[in-house]
A = this chain, B = another copy of it.
Amino acid sequence: MPKNNHISIKTECLPQCASCRVRERALYKQVPKDSLANSQQYRKYQLSLTPKTTLYSAGTRPEFLYTLYEGWMALYQSTSSGKRQIICFSLPGDFIGFQANGNGNIMHSAFSLTNATLCAFPRSRIKQMFEEQPMLTTQLSLMGSRDLTLCQHHLMSAGRKDSHESVAFLLLELFHRAKKRIPQDFNEAENSIAFPLTQEEIGDAVGITNVHVNRIVREFMRDGLIHCQHRKLTIRNEEKLSEIGDFDIGIISSNFLI
């Protein structure tokens, strides 16, 4: 379970990383220029998190929405008996904390997997932002639709796939999302990405134990499908792995917002 390591806050927003600029172009591409300039004024706080730091917790009513600029984050829910289910991995460019539940509290918690930097928008101004920038609303709605599609695939994994299928699918999904969103961490020669998840976190995402994740990862490595060590993931036999995981690259590439 994440503990609060360190959160630092500035009042100005940092210059955006390259992949975030790309993503923001997508987000704003249909928004009129003046309206876009307008939206910048809502940006207020920049946050830096060390790894395994809680951003907000289930049951609270977070004051902010966030844009992730750098690093990996994870969202999770816990059962009353303390079991954890990771419901989403967030990469640079993603919005976090958008899932409002009317006036109720947020249902999930968020924590950093790596060092992470985010920009915070005051939640109180969101309504106003929506009203002033209808196009932005449409785009956010499409992003919500992307999250739903991914969540449904994870539900498939947890409910109806066996552990090999689920792990293969998750590794491929994260590999391709990270490759797109954090291109500077992608090594084309090796076909590898920086990969910060522990085996326990993989297990909490697909619904199996860390011990069993280990057995499967070892098996995949033994069979030459992947290499996974030192926070780095190499895909060695994508075709075979895709077949095992019933993974279709279309999930990633068909949606311009993934």
Contact = CB atoms under 8 A, between A and B. Distances in A.
A142 B100 contact: yes
A205 to B, nearest CB: 8
Contact of A155 (B85, B98, B131): B85
A152 interface: yes
A159 B152 CA distance: 12
A161 B79 contact: yes
Interface residues of A, number: 54
Given A158-B207, A161-B79, A152 B87 contact: yes
A83 B142 CA distance: 28
Interface in A143-199: 144-145, 147-149, 151-156, 158-161, 165
Contacts of A250: 104-105
A60 B158 CA distance: 25
Contacts of A80: 246
A29 to B, nearest CB: 13
Interface of A: 77, 79-81, 83-85, 87-88, 98-105, 107-108, 130-131, 134, 137-138, 140-142, 144-145, 147-149, 151-156, 158-161, 165, 204-207, 246, 250-251, 254-257
